Amino acid sequence: MNFNLIQIFKGFRTRTQIIIAVWTFFNLLLTCLMIFGGGAPVLNAVIFFLIWELAIGGYYVYRYHYKDRHKMGEWVDAIIFAVIAATVIRSLFIEAYQIPTSSMEKTLMVGDFLFVSKVNYGARLPMTPISFPFAHHTMPFTKDTKSYIEALKLPYYRLPGFQKIKNGDVVVFNWPAEREGRPVDKKENYIKRCVAIPGDVLEVREGMVYINGVAEHVPPKRQFEYEVKTSSYDLPKEFYEEQDITDRSPATGVPVHYMHLTDKARDAVKGLSEVISIDTNLHRRGEEGHGMLFPFSKQHDWSRDFYGPLTIPKKGVTVKLDSSNYFIYERLIQEYENHPSFEMRGNKFYMDDQEITDYTFEMNYYFMMGDNRHNSLDSRAWGFVPEDHIVGKAIFVAFSVKHEITHRPKRDASGNVVEYVETKKFKGIRWSRIFMGIE
């Protein structure tokens, strides 16, 4: 076989030549954007360019010169094509995700499989481009084996999108508070609702979110936790099923229940003759302990239901530093904006051993909350989401399965409970949620 690249290219069909030429053009365009727009090192960007050129070129070389030499040639050809096509689609256009927790119920439910658009906000180009296909941060069927190689790293760069993130969007992002030391694009994926965008002033009063002094547009299926006192030890099982009440703590010897309910389910519970009272389980300021919520400061005795006011950082905006907002911006400046030397000494602030009195934000930030407001690990617990952690916009549920989840105690030799083992029992398909849009 002649390995003269020009001769190999000429040996391809005209349609193949056009495909390779178009791909090379877009690949070169992305490379230039990374260098001149994202500030990527030229060598790293060129290696990224060559990887993709070799992937496409190698595929067609195999298809034209090797496929027919092997019994499994057709299968290998199909697999290579599927891997390349799926990688491009998942990186730049759309990707599937599964909902693992109840933090967004009842908007999104455990067992939902949804599609997330990368193009709405603009696709984020790969920052850790060498990784195992279809794996996020860990190899399939393993717990600790990395699925990526950090030898080649690229800086953050996002292609132009159709829209900006707005209040109320349901967004997938990499969890910024992760402590595993993974690259940004390999951190755990989270999904929440964006309640505040850059420049907004957020405040939570009695569980209600206010943005710039105005009450938010309430998500139609938002939930709160309620304390329900009844005249019986439990409510009819059929009632729970009818109202789709799944997130609850059953009574244990006393007729008091804690249920996470939508407004509709709350009204249904109120109407039961067995119910004596129903009250929102609000946490007052300081009840969760000083420093338990972001910004982890004794000066901010906020709770999940009485939080803020807090101004969301906006790119280009300068803030005057003081002993109060230091705790709000400390991690943001040190980690997200890569100024690890930033610190407070006494009542003065230093960066690279130079005293500073103010700081100008280099990125936009967002504040995310789950629709299951009293059962969500969100920005109230760990802080802002930087723009470079944004993955995409959740657009619709493609499929949904229902499981009955139970937690069985695992005991040691002395009979003490050491952990609770989760088991799932398949309970069917939620047909009404298939191809359901996300509000």
User: Would 215 be classed as within a structural domain?
Assistant: no
Structure tokens at 312: 């969301």
Amino acid (one-letter) located at 247: D
User: Would 16 be classed as within a structural domain?
Assistant: yes
Number of domains forming the structure of the chain: 4
What pLDDT is attached to residue 74? Answer: 86
User: Would 171 be classed as within a structural domain?
Assistant: yes
- Sign of the torsion formed by the C-alpha atoms of 241, 242, 248 and 253: negative
What pLDDT is attached to residue 296? Answer: 87
Q: Do 113 and 176 share a domain, yes or no?
A: yes
Q: Do 193 and 101 share a domain, yes or no?
A: yes
Q: Do 335 and 417 share a domain, yes or no?
A: no
What pLDDT is attached to residue 1? Answer: 47
What lies within 8 Å, CB to CB, of 421 at 6+ separation is 407, 408, 409, 410
Cα 392 vs. chain centroid, distance in angstroms? 8
Structure tokens at 431: 């047909």
What pLDDT is attached to residue 274? Answer: 86
Q: Do 373 and 407 share a domain, yes or no?
A: yes
- Own/partner contacts of 6-11, CB < 8 Å, gap of 24 or more, are 8/61, 11/64
Cα 144 vs. chain centroid, distance in angstroms? 21
User: Would 275 be classed as within a structural domain?
Assistant: yes
User: Would 150 be classed as within a structural domain?
Assistant: no
What lies within 8 Å, CB to CB, of 2 at 6+ separation is 8
Q: Do 18 and 112 share a domain, yes or no?
A: no
Q: Which of 286, 291, 269, 287 is nearest to 278 (CA)?
A: 269
Note down the domain range covering 18: 5-92
Residues of the chain predicted below pLDDT 70:
1-5, 250-254, 287-291, 405-407, 409, 417-422
Q: Do 376 and 428 share a domain, yes or no?
A: yes
Q: Do 70 and 108 share a domain, yes or no?
A: no
